[in-house]
Structure 1
């Protein structure tokens, strides 16, 4: 009997051991993709910049934002953008588990030690930029001792590993765009940036020139994810990312996104006065009555509306931007919907809707902003959004500068591209340089149109002085001895 009990006890122990072993082998740690699916949200680390992610007048945008949005949609996931101060911080966020994926990251060997990269989906040449009229460097060795780079860049890693003979300085507080600003101003001898960033900033800095390209190195951009050791060999998210990036390459979607954000940068820019005068003769008469009608309806100088229309579309009713804004006044879908514009390519609707949208920006400006500055503030808001203009005002106020003067706001708008200021803002990165240039161009076009239209009645060209509002004039009083208008004047 005792032998039977011992046998039963042994069988019981064997059964328990077998069950325990089975459970141990069946219960596995869920893969990263399964964890994210359970969480419901993909956490994406990136930086605020023109090439990655930022907020514009129509909401979140940017090349990397659009790309990761499509990836998240392909997985049926929501996603949150986690903004980091620089690319090294993006890598650290991925490695520590604070983000599932880092996007728009330049690959370097030291970074490979912390994160696992997809195959690169973009390659850009690096260019040395300097200020025109300064000594032009011919080779990398010419920069030794004078080169300044942002901290924590992939190129700085490359220099340390491959060119220890090149002495350079890193600026812990500045990003690439701020360094190019300082090069253009003559405060720095040179810096290095990818061709896309250089192309964008040359529109705002006519003194910025490319000395040479670095043939021996390219900037490769990829997505970063936790390394193999961090996830116990898990490949689920990594494999999905690779498959997605290969797909968008093959079906042309990657090319479309690149063209949307970067394909136009060499084509856009400041158009000369002679070209503007030619378009006045060729196109303005087609839409002049619409501009006059809208100006009379909303109490605006029609020539200001025409200047906005030219800056937006060159008065082309069929114009479409790389970001799909359309028509003479280049309304976004959201703005057109708010203004009840059903056909953005209809010149009458576009001009009327653009005028009403501009009036909305004008009326939203704080009461303490007086004319003509109020109009310039509203133009900036028309371009990059009301929230970004208010961010720039707050930055000025915090630094003891009058936030209600255009001359100060024009200085502050480019701060919205710089890391040291972005952290203080509510709406983050914005293309502030573009907004400042945008307003300056419109002011110049407005002055030229005023001169041209007054000459039609054999009057001298009136100046747009700082005490006169650019709203509809009460009379066409001639002003004598007006200086010749120069589009390239820094006053604009």
Structure 2
């Protein structure tokens, strides 16, 4: 992997741009000369600014992007989303079957850049430019079971968009965003030996409740796979589950929450799924001002810890000068403070495991009855 350089003209901008604050990166690129590019000639940076849209293409994979209902998430997707935010533009994220198709779209100028695992030789053969999607921080991906050989591929090395993107990636490495994203999308969060038990449980129990998950999810415009993942994390899909603190049922509702959601019998699986979905939908609505997929993660930790705890952390983040509505900041706070607060540790495990279960259920067709 050619971690800190671009192919083609082999220009290295990372050492300069990685020292700049994120906002300065965008401003600098707007003021800098366009090198060999004529100011009136079309370039990807101008296209992004003029259309207010960053168009990115990638191949779906556990490391890059994973679709949950109508929403996408994943290490590669979230990183591209953060870059789009730094440019103050919208992200238009496309997926294609393979790296060859992604590289072709870049070469034809149909997208601003691609996120691929293509080899340097294949990229160079297309006369395209690339750099590591982690600014060379391969270890953060490797230790979390992610593919370290991912790169961002651009049409030209001397396009301002390529330059600001390279700087953004290395800034993300410096400020810890790369490490936090990789940690959240950790594919080792569930031990390999445990997947055999999980697979057995899901195969036995999911078909029994699948119809209820689907019907309820449709009512609240949710992905039923996500509801099922929440149910498995809460009770292993056992409707008679009871915790030491008194929460009960398939979706493990407290007595107060059950009453508020109109559930009269917490051990009735249909009622429990309905009550859990209604409560999760309330959490989604509470954080409607946060963009997806971050909104889902906020709603999940609120489902687990209670919205009051989430609000308190948001206030702490804001007082520290950090964006309280950015999942990376929220996740970093929970992770860094989990040793001193058991609730934070539980929340980290809760949301990362649900994300893992969601991906597993979504990608295992043999679990489905229809």
From the two aligned structures, give the one with the greater strand fraction. 1
Q: Which structure's CA Rg is the greater one? A: 1
TM-score normalised over the length of structure 1: 0.35
Where relative contact order (Cα < 8 A, 6+ residues apart) is larger, the structure is 2
TM-score normalised by L of structure 2: 0.46
